[in-house]
Amino acid sequence: MNHDDPVLLRTEGRALHITLNRPRALNALTHDMVRRIDEALTEAERDDSITTVVLRGAGERGLCAGGDIRTIWENARTGGHASTAFWRDEYLLNARIARFPKPYVALMDGIVMGGGVGVSAHGDVRVVTERSQIAMPETGIGFVPDVGGTHLLASAPGELGTHLALTGTAVGPADALLCGLADHFVPSLRLAELTEALAMSGPAAEVTRTVERYATAAPRSGLAAHREWIDVCYASESVEEIVDRLQGCPAPAAGEAAGTLLSRSPTALKVTLAAVRRARRLGDLEAVLDQEFRVSYAARVLPDLIEGIRARIIDKDRAPHWRPAGLDQVTDGDVARFFTPLGDEELGLAPGCVPETTGPDTGARTGQV
């Protein structure tokens, strides 16, 4: 095994361990890493001696900070198609993880964002620790939650998922459990014991029982105390109305959320709200991934993605110049273009699924979770 490889594979007992191995880059996913994980899952599926797959990240900082957005930025600036190819394979991997026939255990220790959520939160058994910080922060770089993130957030209780999708707020272990992004809390000091025990686990039920032996109660949830104003404010039919309700709410945290939204890409906010609402109606992960691919395909050629990555990652001035700059300048037609069918370029995970049309009520809420 070459310890410089970006993905390390190790078999211990009956478990295959997949380690994301770019600790200096917080294990950010590259296209090559996506391919290697997929190849490893193919081998694990064929090997009868392997009963469990365990995903973890190298280093002490986190499982994975997301996709390698510097590479995405470079590709977007040159008008290339490498990002589209990366997203296609990444979303196919997300779907494969969700339907993988053997127990897939994700150790979501430390930072888990964007693409890191995609390779972990669709697994069978998702473990968080006291160090976990989980987020879909895409609106902050002029992008929209992907990797099945809109599916996960649309399924969260009430409007918690809408809040997290629009603001990009990171949540700790208890809130991850509350929102359905994780299943068990295990103190980080017990992860080594847990992984040793998983080496001897067999069927799915046995894997779950093994994890439960090491699990304890998570620290108190922060979001639960804010459910009342979150559910009221984010039930609005437009981003503008959401901001108005947040600004009018007496809770200090609501005002802070409004300020966060006003710093985000207006286009990304409106498309994100529409994507989460649509994901609720679609229900199925594969149909949602098809939708997310259409959105990503459209976003790659627009200025906000390039500008957002520049401001946060390249120049680090944290002062993006969004185009357009105001929510009132983003029309229903602008949003609709993100959901336009791609013909032969479709991801095609849900064959026969016809994308719904987007009319004037693009951001409209159509039901409760």
| Per-residue pLDDT at 77 | 84
| Per-residue pLDDT at 357 | 47
| Per-residue pLDDT at 26 | 97
63: Cβ contacts below 8 Å, ≥ 6 apart: 20, 27, 55, 56, 57, 106, 107, 108, 109, 110, 111, 112, 116, 120
Measured CA to CA in angstroms, residue 188 lies from 129, 211, 218, 328 at distances of 5, 13, 12, 46
For residues 78 and 88, give the distance between their C-alpha atoms in angstroms, rounded to a whole number: 19
Q: Report whether pLDDT(3) > 90.
A: no
Q: Where in the sequence numbering do the catalytic residues fall?
A: 67, 115, 138, 146
Over the stretch 19-49, which tens digit does the pLDDT of each residue have?
Answer: 999 999 999 999 999 999 999 999 999 999 9
Q: Report whether pLDDT(315) > 50.
A: yes
**Environment class of 305 (CB within 10 Å of its CB; exposed 0-12, middle 13-18, buried 19+):** buried
Mean pLDDT taken over the chain: 93
For residues 268 and 260, give the distance between their C-alpha atoms in angstroms, rounded to a whole number: 13
Q: Report whether pLDDT(280) > 70.
A: yes
Over the stretch 122-158, which tens digit does the pLDDT of each residue have?
Answer: 999 999 999 999 999 999 999 999 999 999 999 999 9
| Per-residue pLDDT at 228 | 95
- Structure-derived torsion over alpha carbons of residues 147, 155, 136, 242, reported in degrees to the nearest 10: 130
